[in-house]
Chains A and B, each alone.
Chain A
Amino acid sequence: NAGVMQNPRHLVRRRGQEARLRCSPMKGHSHVYWYRQLPEEGLKFMVYLQKENIIDESGMPKERFSAEFPKEGPSILRIQQVVRGDSAAYFCASSAYRDGATAQYFGPGTRLTVT
């Protein structure tokens, strides 16, 4: 009974490189959320996706960040030309339905370090 899976767990990138973070939702879940956690802070919503659709990207920075959730395969959060300020923990969560009564289940997170 696998939960939400994220890989890699730790990612180190140099400034200017691309970071690609993967999230496989729980089996049967078709709704994926990405959150970012800066050190000593709470999680901040970034984007909400369903299969092949971006539903809400109001928390995504306007530049360099993109997300997708293809019909097959994991959801991908892509950060182009990373900067030191992108260093954070990125969490993916999934839920079975788009309704308020359904809890979101979080993956273990990917810790991105930009050097």
Chain B
Amino acid sequence: AQKITQTQPGMFVQEKEAVTLDCTYDTSDPSYGLFWYKQPSSGEMIFLIYQGSYDQQNATEGRYSLNFQKARKSANLVISASQLGDSAMYFCAMREGRDSGTYKYIFGTGTRLKVLA
């Protein structure tokens, strides 16, 4: 079973508008972390935002915010005021392995975002 699901293979958004990238997860561990990474065409993985399972408030980092709905097991990324430079692949990831102490990341398949001028 998929532990991280990103159902949108591709998304388009007009410049300066907001966009939401979906991510759902599955875990039985009460303690987990959720991450979003951006991968531009150059290939590097850029850390964007982190949400801990016990965090009471949704995480925000500049134009990025994470809409965390624990009961629904969703952790959607919201990008406000899109810019052309936001065009990239976006990956949602969950940190698991608390019991083993590994804390490895499980990644979704990604969403390719294209910002239109």
A interface vs B, CB < 8 Å?
33, 35, 41-45, 48, 55-56, 59, 89, 91, 93, 95, 98-109, 111
Contact = CB atoms under 8 A, between A and B. Distances in A.
Interface of B: 4, 31-33, 35, 37, 43-45, 47, 50, 52, 91, 93, 95, 97-98, 100-110
A68 B12 CA distance: 42
A99 B95 CA distance: 10
Nearest to A41: B109
Nearest to A101: B52
B104 A42 contact: no
Contacts, number: 66
B103 A99 contact: yes
Contact of A55 (B95, B98, B101): B101
A100 B32 contact: yes
13 contacts: A33-B104, A48-B104, A55-B101, A56-B97, A56-B102, A56-B104, A59-B104, A89-B43, A98-B103, A100-B52, A102-B103, A106-B47, A107-B44
